[in-house]
Structure 1
Amino acid sequence: RYRLIVRQQPEQGRAGTFGSKERRPLDPLPIVQLEIFDKYGNLDLLGSGSPNLVMQVSALPVPIEEAQEEVTLEDKGGGESVEGMKQEKGKTLARASLGKQGQTVMQRVLEGKVTSSAHVAFDTDGSRACFFIFSDLSLRIEGTFKLVFSLVRLGMGSGARTSVGKIVATVSSDAFKVYSPREFPGVAQSTDLAKCLANQGVQIPIRNEARRGGSAAGRHIS
């Protein structure tokens, strides 16, 4: 049995124009913990760190009903799919797609590394745990969103599938707001969990103090 826990929720983001080189990652950076239990209910830490497990992330607009009003059905042949755009002042605001599981997900709006491999490391309480870390995610448009994290087991057969494996568990983040560059309130000091993982060699940008107005993302420590 798989259990996913969003240990660090994204709380805000700064929108960047399409193709912008000045992206700002979501703050705080999302961190998801994986727990695997065997048939006896015991925690299987060894299985949690398997190289056959990866996590991918997509973005959902909130409220979802508003996005669904803007899409039109297209037949792509190999399963149902929906694509559409909402236009405002000549700018693309959203592109959504409806996959086989009936879930509308934002595509080409989420930038950065959308997959993560497992990191088995010490938690803040000294116990060993398995984490998936997304340190380079940003959204191109303003609005309110949730992130959907999907745990994929590579090389599996039937079921809900990606192009390379089977989705075995999903979890969603809390809703958060993406601001315009002018309205962005700034970034917070890095959390104890982020600092704990960075001190063990995990490549995470660390800020020792809060910064206003979307200044540089921080530095990497190892």
Structure 2
Amino acid sequence: FDLKLRQQPKQSRMCGVGEKADRRPIDPPPILQLRVINHSQHAEDHANVTPPSPSHADLLWLFLPSFLPTISSYLQNPYYFVYASLVSPDSGEELHLLRDGRTRATTGSVVSSLYHLKDIDNTDGGFFVFPDLSVRTEGSYRLKFSLFEIVQGKVYHCRSVYSDPFIVYSAKRFPGMEESTFLSRSFADQGLKIRIRKE
């Protein structure tokens, strides 16, 4: 597998906790591209891949897409998905919960299925997009993106990649959303639900 971050997160406004929290998504929305390098070897590799721990598997099933039809092409394969978790920018420690031990550190969609979309050069590609992911508290963070595949009812971890560090600002310090990137606008034009901002 080749999993590449095509669009890095740069900033966000903290959304806080509670029903009246003013939720702003990470800007720009993280976008990853998947390439399957060797299709024949891919089928054999599952024998050597370790399933995730029970705690991770239980967590992931909460966010899986509800539809799993059988499609042969990997560009439209619904059995691939990416799970995004917040991590410390230095240690890489995953930050699932706030200090109260109950509230998730992120809110919004933490899982993306694979989207078959046209790239900016009009070639077909497989992409994972996170247009609705927010962080509750200010600070410096990275995002860890973990690629999984469902094979015969089991969830296999394929690989993980990390974003560059980004800043989550308080409401007073937030500089505002930037103009949407060409890649975001291109995907929105193809029907993907991404907030588009124009200067």
TM-score interval w.r.t. the shorter chain? Answer: 0.7 to 0.9
Contact 2:140 2:165 in 1 (8 A): yes
Aligned residue for 1:187, secondary structure, equals: coil
Between Structure 1 and Structure 2, which shows a larger proportion of strand residues? 1
Taking the aligned partners of 1:8 and 1:29, their CA distance within structure 2 comes to: 7
Deviation at 1:111, TM superposition (A): 0.9
Look up the match of 1:134. Answer: 130
Kindly provide the amino acid, as one letter, of the partner of residue 159 in structure 2. Answer: A
Other-structure match for 2:49:
none
Q: Is the contact between residue 147 and residue 172 of structure 1 (CA under 8 Å) also seen in structure 2?
A: yes
CA–CA distance in structure 1, aligned partners of residues 161 and 73 of structure 2: 21
- Is this contact kept in 1: 2:8–2:28, CA < 8 A? yes
Give the total of aligned pairs.
168
2:21 counterpart SS class? coil
Greater Cα radius of gyration, structure 1 or 2: 1
If the length of structure 2 is used for normalisation, what is the TM-score?
A: 0.76
Q: Which among 67, 77, 86 is matched to residue 50 of structure 1?
A: 77
| Inter-partner Cα distance in structure 2 for 1:156 and 1:36 | 19
Write the distance in 2 (CA, Å) between the matches of 1:170 and 1:128: 23
Q: Per-residue displacement from partner, 1:121-164 (whole Å, max 9, x unpaired)? A: 1100111111111011111001110001111101358xxxxxx5
- The corresponding residue for 1:218 is none
TM score, norm. by length of structure 1: 0.68
* Letter of the 2:3 counterpart: L
1: CA distance, partners of 2:87 / 2:11: 14
Aligned partner of 1:27 in structure 2 is 27
More relative contact order, 1 or 2 (CA 8 Å, 6+ apart)? 2
| 1:125–1:15 distance in 2 versus 1, CA, 3 Å | same
Aligned residue runs from structure 1 range 85-96, under 5 A = 85=99
1:58·1:114 contact (CA, 8 Å) conserved in 2? yes
Structure 1 stretch displaced more, 48-57 or 123-132: 48-57
The corresponding residue for 1:146 is 142
1:61–1:143 Cα contact (<8 Å) kept: no
Would you say the 8 A contact 2:82–2:113 is kept in 1? yes
Aligned-partner Cα distance in 2 for 1:84–1:32 = 26
Q: Judging changes above 3 Å, is the alpha-carbon distance between structure 1 residues 84 and 16 closer, same or farther for their aligned structure 2 residues?
A: closer
Sort the Cα spacing of 1:140 and 1:83 in 2 relative to 1 into closer, same or farther, 3 A.
closer
Which structure 1 residue ranges, 4+ long, deviate > 3 Å from structure 2? 82-85
How do residues 1-222 of structure 1 correspond to structure 2 at under 5 angstroms? Answer: 2-19=1-18, 20-38=20-38, 46-64=73-91, 85=99, 108-155=104-151, 165-209=155-199
User: Cα RMSD over matched residues?
Assistant: 2.8
Does the 8 A contact of 2:85 with 2:145 survive in 1?
yes
Work out whether residues 3 and 35 of structure 1, in 8 Å CA contact, stay in contact via their aligned partners in 2: yes
Equivalent residues of 1:156, 1:166 under 8 A apart? no
Shift of 1:48: 3.4
2:89 partner letter: V
- Three-state SS of the structure 2 residue aligned to 1:24 is coil
How much identity, in percent, do the aligned residues show? Answer: 36
Q: Name the CA distance, whole Å, in 1 between partners of 2:128 and 2:22.
A: 25
